[in-house]
Structure 1
Amino acid sequence: MESAINKVVLSGFAGADAEIKTFGNQKLARVNLAINETYRNTAGEEVKKVQWFNLTFWNAKAEIAEAQIKKGTGLTVEGRLQANRYDDKDGKKRYGIDIAVSDLIIRGNEK
């Protein structure tokens, strides 16, 4: 296998306003995306569950996120999974996965 695919498409709602950070001349926006799921458990009861995903936007897309993404904004994003390793405030190694957004559709505040 010569090539691999790392592609994700998600549609949900922003859990909060975009959080902005600047690193020199680069801008980063972070947004938590909530996706509501409904299913039936083994007893036949309807269960509602929310899945949370961390989105990252860089530079021009970060500018768009900063200006337009507020809590409750409906979003459809396409991007790639990006694994991260960092040390927390206590010096413990932590791991996480973000979605590095390449394409974005803003559906507006649908809640």
Structure 2
Amino acid sequence: MASYNRVVLVGNLTRDIELRYIPSGLAVAEITIAVNDRRKTSSGEWVDEATFVDVTLWGRNAEVASEYLQKGSPLLVEGRLKLDRWETDGQKRSKLRVVGEKMQMLGSRTGGGSGGGSSHRAASQASEDHGAYDSDESYSADSSPRDAQPTGGGAGYDDPNIPF
């Protein structure tokens, strides 16, 4: 029988991240994400409901999250579900959590709004660490490729034989 275990969550951090290292030197961060759901009740009023999901980040994802994110920061996490089981005082317990494999910081890069207060410089550094596009470093409004785009005023622009 085939199986597929994949979770994608978008939410906000419920507390600041505490980074720790296991004896092998690998970074680990246990975080909780609040995922909000808004639905309409049978009486027609809107109700907001938050679901709190525990997520474990490992390695560089844990280090980057610890460095650039704080309580309230918006975050997208992709990973897999894992069921932890243990016994306490003779009672069997279990807890479902997400093992985060990919992480994307969301929000603005300017430090205002919903970006959780992170600075543009911090977000730019995180983007460089993950090879993401950094708009301020790689593009300027005066770049020459934009000048090469047709504007509609050139010779032959109204030619009826143009195939589009």
TM-score using structure 1 length? 0.87
SS of 1:70's partner is: coil
Tell me how far 1:87 sits from its aligned partner. 3.6
Q: Which amino acid aligns with 1:5?
A: Y
Q: Deviations over 1:37-68 (max 9, x none)?
A: 11111111111110110110012211112112
Percent identity, aligned pairs only, is 30
Structure 2 equivalent of residue 6 of structure 1: 5
Tell me which residue corresponds to 2:29: 29
| Cα RMSD for the two superposed structures | 1.8
Q: Give distance in 2, aligned partners of 1:74 and 1:63.
A: 17
User: Following superposition of structure 1 onto structure 2, how do residues 22-101 of structure 1 map, counting pairs within 5 Å?
Assistant: 22-24=21-23, 25-88=25-88, 90=89, 92-101=91-100
What SS class does the counterpart of residue 71 from structure 1 fall into?
Answer: coil
The number of equivalent residue pairs is 109
Q: Which has the higher helix share?
A: 2
Displacement of 1:107: 1.1
Unaligned 5+ segments in structure 2 are 108-112, 117-164
SS of the residue corresponding to residue 67 of structure 2 reads helix
Q: Distance in 2 between matches of 1:12 and 1:19?
A: 18
Larger gyration radius, structure 1 or structure 2: 2
After superposing the two structures, state which structure 1 stretch, 71-80 or 92-101, moved more. Answer: 92-101
Aligned partners of 1:7 and 1:43: how far apart in 2?
A: 35
Say whether residues 1:15 and 2:14 are aligned partners.
yes
Amino acid across the alignment from 1:61: N
TM-score normalized with structure 2 length: 0.61
Structure with the largest fraction of strand:
1
| Divergent runs of 4+, >3 A | none
1:4 partner SS = coil
Q: Which runs of 5+ in 1 are unaligned?
A: none
Separation in structure 1 between the aligned mates of residue 99 and residue 52 of structure 2, nearest angstrom: 15
In structure 2, C-alpha distance between the alignment counterparts of 1:64 and 1:87, rounded to whole Å: 33
Shift of 1:91: 5.5
